[in-house]
Amino acid sequence: MSLLLGIDLGTTGVKCLVINERGKLLAKASEEYQLYSPKPGWAEQDPNAWWDAVLKGVRQVINTDKVLPKDIEGLAVSGQMHGSVFLDKNNQVIRPPILWCDTRTEKQCREITKRVGEKRLYDLVSNFSFEGFTAPKVLWLKENESRNYARLRTLLLPKDYIVYRMTGVLTTDVSDAAGTLLFDVRNRRWSQEMLKVLDIDGEVLPNVLESTDVVSEINEEVARATGLPKNIKVVAGGADNTCSAVGNGITEEGLVSFSIGSSGVVFAHTDSVKQDTAGRVHAFNHSIPNKWYVMGVMLSAGLSLTWFRESFGELERSVQSLSGLDSYGILSCEASLAPAGSEGLVFLPYLNGERTPHRNAKARGVFFGISRSHKKGHFIRAIMEGVCFGLRDCLEIIEGLGIQTQQVRITGGGAKSELWRQIQADVLNREVVTTSIDEGPAFGAALLAGVGCRVYEDVGEAVDCAVRIATGAEPIDENVGIYDALYPIFGSLYESVKGEYDMISRVTDS
């Protein structure tokens, strides 16, 4: 039976897995790497750390009793969107990549909007200019690091750098290219007019493939470093959000996924391009040929809980190191001791700015309603609830575009926690379900690899063969009432403090 390898290059680490053609998980591994923030709002990583983590992860999953490397037909890589990997003429990295959650490019976003115009942006690339997108990062490099910009010969997305290291081929796919603000989403090609208006040399952009196209076979160096056979095909793969959607079977209209990873994503499949003229949600290319999707994005979903764990979870981390118990699971248990609504404690999850629905790089996190009765568990639960309120913001906008929601499938860290699954069901007041695999992006990448290698005829057949519904959570009426009462307060809090965000920004930037 054919085996498939999926790799997900995330923000906090890489995940690798091997499945058979029926979707059975045979092996998985993960390796972490560090995110650097040299200045407030900045987010960078070391691509060599990415590569080392990928090699370690691949070696782990193929060196198991259930996996024979010779049976692996192909692999594909999923990855964090929007990040900029700048390469010189020798294809060496010029500076640390600037990531999706970096908000340093507010000035460049205003400049892009001024040069192109909001309406024209929608005509050309189907999206407004956001700090996380790739094009503003290119302008930032040009304006702030002119020597580095002069060395620029190729611009890649993070997962495409891994594909390059595996194959020696400089390429990207439509789903990742769509998040650069340089891509004609309607026609699935680079926008020559955008490049001209922004004075960006189109020669720095790689060739664009569909997510299921074969790039090349792995090179000999990778084969030696991992133990993979040299004839394994590398398929183009896709953005983490589209790969997660494929891994969760979001391949037809009416199906919506909620992903709580580092970011929070609400993803709705569409058969045609649908745009929010207010710019609160994005319209991008799906990893399925001639399909699209609408997506709302929170910048600090799982990252909010990660921040709390790193800043205040020393005890939980110590227990994990001594016992092997998951520190996030311990935090979830503590949160479960607090009641729904956290006794009036409300959290705004804007630790690093926000995209949907506020489009505000200066927004920051807020705990509101703190009293002496609040304990550590209340704060953890309030974080989980605040993230779910933000996801509800995204879904209400998407449904306002006339997109019907028949089923919500959840994935990421928020799907692993029984408490977080229940909070999502209660905040949305609808059933949420998980699929049989909780590593959506890597699983979806493996399915795309299967399509590229002709293990499956198309993505639809891959999903039918491999994706199954696993568990669900029904809303609890009492909790629904509490969250319906708190949700308007959550929204009004942002409106109350958004002016102060500008004031705080002036203080911290001075």
Please give the positions annotated as active site.
Answer: 240
Name the amino acid, one letter, at 83: G
- Residues 171 and 164: their CA atoms lie apart, in Å, by 7
- Residues 440 and 480: their CA atoms lie apart, in Å, by 28
**Ramachandran angles phi, psi of 344, nearest 5°:** 85, 5
CB of 183 closer than 8 Å to CB of 189? yes
- Residues 49 and 333: their CA atoms lie apart, in Å, by 32
CB of 292 closer than 8 Å to CB of 187? no
- Residues 200 and 189: their CA atoms lie apart, in Å, by 16
Q: Which two tokens stand for residue 433?
A: 């379900």
- Residues 186 and 172: their CA atoms lie apart, in Å, by 17
* DSSP state letter for 36: B
Beta strands in 378-452 (DSSP E): 407-412, 432-435
CA atoms 410, 183, 8, 32: torsion sign? negative
Q: 115-129 burial string, b = 16+ CB within 10 Å, else e?
A: ebeeeebbebbbbbb
CB of 14 closer than 8 Å to CB of 31? yes
Q: Which two tokens stand for residue 473?
A: 């959570």
Please write down the long-range contacts of 196-204, taking CB distance under 8 Å and 24 or more positions apart. Answer: 197/115, 197/116, 198/112, 198/115, 198/116, 198/135, 198/138, 198/139, 200/135, 200/138, 203/153, 204/152, 204/153, 204/154, 204/155
C-alpha Rg value of the chain to the nearest Å: 22
